[in-house]
Structure 1
């Protein structure tokens, strides 16, 4: 799904390619390429306006879903073709050779394939009318509306949270975020969708001590669109309990300022999404005349929203305990005492509650679905099925979380959906995921920022919106809540596939572009190769091995796999028992990410250095590896090279030519003239820590290594300040 994100990515690639001076010179006066590219751009623009409508309708209208899937598949093909054309052109010793053949019709293969895919897209553009798709702005999506009413007896496990918020509300001497004092405090409640922020705010709103402490209270559901005029008007109407006919923001704000003057107020702004400082400053101006101790409580899924509006630290709402989830479930199931004492029913119910993983909205929805139904067979059926298979009108957790996805900027949608490749409870690192996003071209350039910096911002934004959560124990690791992972699975559709879930290779959709393999037990490699035979256009093959051994029963499996998957951009053989790579690795012209960590690699083929687009090469823990390919200097787009825990004797000559390198884990100084420490001086973009190793000698086949550690500035200082003799002595 996420067609909007894919289209945005393809357009970005087209424009980047078209704007480069080399390409402008190549196609100048060549009508064939100009016509093809212009047709592609025209059709992508034509369909873009209808994607929001299509993405909403696809859930219930199968023809629309099929249309979106076909569109996305065609866009992937177009992107691959563009990448092929410009990669081959960039790697020709005589730059005009490849495109000359292409433009002069001497090689029609690529041109024919491009015409075919553009014809497909044009046909899909025509079909949008038959499907009744229309252009709608994103703000017109349906949203929930909340009120301040709550049945307090139904609230479970939030008593401590309530008392903490009430204490903040009753404190008339609030200290703001800068350490100063403020008459009006803004208190954010932050947490993922479905965790109970609104319920907690309602719980607090109805508290008798809170009611007695303020002159008046007002509840405003902000939701979809943060319009200062509308919110201000709604606040006035909540205060006066009557319609406001004013149509000018200035008059509205003066009216609100007058009504708030010399009053101690408590206002709740529920479900806030806007991160605009300017809008918030405008909205809060009339509130400054309130009596000391006045409070504004907001609920939001975004930590960034909280950081914009807060005057006190945000209150981050935690997941419920399993016992409290059980209480929520039981209350909404409303079963008789006799039914709930049935041990079999209780056992199934407890297992259902575990699936909620601390999310009260899920427990409430499941309980409501089973209300009055004590049929054990039905309970078991629900337990074994995914709750996402149920229709929205039966279980409300689906649309509640789906809103979070729809509200994501298009550039974050594909990044989030990509995480469906991970198994549930998989612990991933920030750097690892950013490198994969970079390989898939998800990171849209912004000004002078590097792709890594853009990826860092994307990751932080998804974390701020509660899509990712820091691991409770393991530092620098992140996880996804089970229901958030299921949300990613919904929007992943047929384009992302986890091979360990496979029963039959025929079940895999040929449109699959991203494939992961998490080896479990005796999963046969032959079955994996059957999958690869169907998904020849896949861009991703990730080995996510959580057990340290894979039962590889085919020695030539890597060679077979690489011969099938020619469009790979990210390839991970992490912990696969490989001793070598086939020379055919050099034919993967699209490859940008290669992870061979903790394999038994003894050598790397020199054809690896044909991978012009390679950005990331991970060789961590390859203990048998003693040398890198001699032509490493040809990997001019390499940005990340991790050779930690290897037995390299020295670095190959010409490492100073890898000027794109951002991260180099270590550097082995050898004795040859072309392997000196001052090669690092040319790598101006290096950052993070680098271990510099000096090979002393070889005794009984074991290496004695001296490790020295420097940061980027330390390396520059080392190179600049040491004399030539000292450098020679060191090397």
Structure 2
């Protein structure tokens, strides 16, 4: 079901971009120059504005009303058709700037297309009243890359897991004929990455290896990229090699006779061939070298492991509460707010032992002191969302859903970036400005300052994080 849900803010951000393009000087000049009836365009913009006004309400109601979900899907398709049409108009506008251009025939083809798109959108817009969608209701998530940095004071209930993994890392007699590969396996949001971060930064572990490297693998198991990342970590030098053979030969040379630790975080690769292609460069390391792999998938672990999987279980309600309280209350102390503590403990039970859900909701509620706001999250329809892999999605969706609409638009715009893409704050703000996603500043404030405020608010809510080793870069997915 989760995969079929429509992100209202994604549509809203897309509409913002479309509005910007519809009013661009190039397109407006083309339309006026060709005497195309701009009445159609005005109707189209008004219709788009009317559906955009109720998207937040529709985004929430789709969880309990399949008709609303279908309405959003129809709207998405129609908006994409409108975007394709504007691509066509913009292309024609460019052609008209060329010498001896003649687009009269194309113009006659564009006019009925605008009418067709308008008719479809007007029909969809009328249905919003039938469905009871309301203006402004509901204003109350690209996957990030990971790094090796961790705040151990924010880790609860993992002492036994930590000791078990550290014992494996410090043992030199485990599978002595090969490099030991230790899989940490568990559902989304269970804390696999956090556990790997904790043991990676353990003092005894650091002293046991000549060097260590952390690589966020993610969905694309790119052997060349992973090899290059490890090589640069070993040598502390940026590598310009693009040929996989050269990369692996160089890495094998650098690893020769050394005892190393690698963490391959968030692995999805189920191909033994791909794993073997990567593993060959590691064989020159000495006995005792280790690789930690974190994955949700048992099949992935079976391809790579040399020891039994280490399965992570959910936290106890008490450990989950301690983690939640750490983020939700100043200094993690809820004594001054017994009513909020009572509601918070009920919220934590709905997190079902998933630390990421507890942390996410703790961050969301940190600046909310009204018990009604906490209660509305506890009773939200979003908890009814089911997912085959875990119950983490409702908690994460709640955090996103309660973003103000202007932040939703800016955050969902980042879906244009590839997963694990590193970007600079200034560059992203310029993109937001170019797409007209920022609210107009008041008084003497510049638009760049508005973008800076948006950016830092998203950072404070953990939607962006700094890239390890690159203070000026951030990561999103």
TM-score, with length taken from structure 2? 0.54
Q: Please report how far the alpha carbon of residue 182 of structure 1 lies from its aligned counterpart in structure 2 after TM superposition.
A: 2.8
Please tell me whether the aligned partners of residues 361 and 395 of structure 2 are also in contact (alpha carbons under 8 angstroms): no
Higher helix share: 2
2:280 aligned with 1:279, yes or no?
no
Q: Please report how far the alpha carbon of residue 280 of structure 1 lies from its aligned counterpart in structure 2 after TM superposition.
A: 0.3
Structure 2: how far apart are the matches of 1:374 and 1:127? 39
What SS is found at the alignment partner of 1:326?
helix
2:380 aligned with 1:385, yes or no?
yes
CA pair 330-284 structure 1, distance change in 2 beyond 3 A: same
Alignment-derived partner of residue 329 in structure 1: 324
- 2:200 pairs with 199, 205, 210, which one? 205
Alignment-derived partner of residue 374 in structure 1: 369
Instruction: State the number of aligned residues.
Output: 290
Alignment of 1:252-331 (within 5 A): 252-331=247-326
What SS is found at the alignment partner of 2:219?
coil
- Unpaired runs of 5+ residues, structure 1, are 6-58, 74-122, 135-140, 176-180, 390-416, 421-461, 468-480, 489-731
Structure 1: how far apart are the matches of 2:56 and 2:211? 44
Alignment-derived partner of residue 151 in structure 2: 151
CA pair 72-337 structure 1, distance change in 2 beyond 3 A: closer
Structure 1: how far apart are the matches of 2:354 and 2:145? 20
Alignment-derived partner of residue 236 in structure 1: 231
Q: Which has the higher contact order (CA 8 A, sep 6+)?
A: 2
Alignment-derived partner of residue 343 in structure 2: 348
Q: Please report how far the alpha carbon of residue 281 of structure 1 lies from its aligned counterpart in structure 2 after TM superposition.
A: 0.3
Structure 1: how far apart are the matches of 2:4 and 2:334? 48
CA pair 257-133 structure 1, distance change in 2 beyond 3 A: farther
Structure 1: how far apart are the matches of 2:323 and 2:2? 34
Please tell me whether the aligned partners of residues 147 and 214 of structure 2 are also in contact (alpha carbons under 8 angstroms): yes
Q: Please report how far the alpha carbon of residue 370 of structure 1 lies from its aligned counterpart in structure 2 after TM superposition.
A: 1.6
TM-score, with length taken from structure 1? 0.36
Alignment-derived partner of residue 129 in structure 1: 81
Q: Please report how far the alpha carbon of residue 239 of structure 1 lies from its aligned counterpart in structure 2 after TM superposition.
A: 1.6
1:403-424 superposed Cα distances (whole Å, 9 cap, x missing partner): xxxxxxxxxxxxxx9x77xxxx
CA pair 270-72 structure 1, distance change in 2 beyond 3 A: same
Alignment-derived partner of residue 244 in structure 2: 249
CA pair 60-217 structure 1, distance change in 2 beyond 3 A: farther
Please tell me whether the aligned partners of residues 157 and 320 of structure 1 are also in contact (alpha carbons under 8 angstroms): yes
Structure 2: how far apart are the matches of 1:253 and 1:208? 30
What SS is found at the alignment partner of 1:340?
coil
What SS is found at the alignment partner of 1:222?
strand
CA pair 299-246 structure 1, distance change in 2 beyond 3 A: same
1:642-678 superposed Cα distances (whole Å, 9 cap, x missing partner): xxxxxxxxxxxxxxxxxxxxxxxxxxxxxxxxxxxxx
What SS is found at the alignment partner of 1:269?
strand
What SS is found at the alignment partner of 2:214?
strand
CA pair 484-147 structure 1, distance change in 2 beyond 3 A: closer
- Unpaired runs of 5+ residues, structure 2, are 6-54, 87-140, 398-477
Q: Please report how far the alpha carbon of residue 237 of structure 1 lies from its aligned counterpart in structure 2 after TM superposition.
A: 1.1
Please tell me whether the aligned partners of residues 335 and 374 of structure 1 are also in contact (alpha carbons under 8 angstroms): no
CA pair 67-377 structure 1, distance change in 2 beyond 3 A: closer
Structure 1: how far apart are the matches of 2:211 and 2:339? 50
Alignment-derived partner of residue 161 in structure 2: 161
